[in-house]
Amino acid sequence: GAVVSQHPSRVICKSGTSVKIECRSLDFQATTMFWYRQFPKQSLMLMATSNEGSKATYEQGVEKDKFLINHASLTLSTLTVTSAHPEDSSFYICSAAGHGAVNYEQYFGPGTRLTVT
């Protein structure tokens, strides 16, 4: 099946710094990528949807200036958490869909655990 990777798997950063998370589709062209965050013992909440070459569409309540999403190619999307604070600590998961993948399926990355100290 289609494979999606995320890097890094874990990151610890200091409050006020920025951190970038990469999401890659390894064997298909991801025309659409989704970014989710998940708090402990909770469900996934969609943050934004990005289409290759276009600006991301953010969900209500998600600060687009704080969570910068770039989807510059068909295999890579990045999420940058700017000026991170402890409340941004969470599990961030991306998913991808597109040509070469099964219709209407999203393939999920393994997630990135962000801890802001």
Partner 1 sequence: AQSVTQLDSQVPVFEEAPVELRCNYSSSVSVYLFWYVQYPNQGLQLLLKYLSGSTLVKGINGFEAEFNKSQTSFHLRKPSVHISDTAEYFCAVSRLGGYNKLIFGAGTRLAVHP
Q: By CB under 8 A, name the binding residues for partner 1.
A: 4, 6, 31-32, 34, 42-46, 49, 91, 93, 95, 97-98, 103-106, 108-111, 113
Cα 54 to Cα 66: distance, rounded to the nearest angstrom: 18
Largest CA distance in the chain: 41
In the complex, minimum distance from the CB of residue 36 to partner 1, in angstroms, rounded to a whole number: 8
At its nearest, how many Å lie between partner 1 and the CB of residue 9? 9
Q: Which is nearer to partner 1, 49 or 82 (CB)?
A: 49
- Nearest C-alpha neighbor of 77 from the set 4, 18, 24: 24
- Pick the closer one to partner 1 by CB: 45 or 82: 45
Residue number, 12 or 15, with CB nearest to partner 1: 12
Q: Read off the tokens for 5.
A: 């990777």
Q: Closest approach of Cβ 64 to partner 1, in Å?
A: 16
Please tell me the distance from the alpha carbon of residue 107 to that of residue 114, in angstroms, as a whole number. Answer: 21
Closest CA to 25 of 117, 82, 106, 79: 106
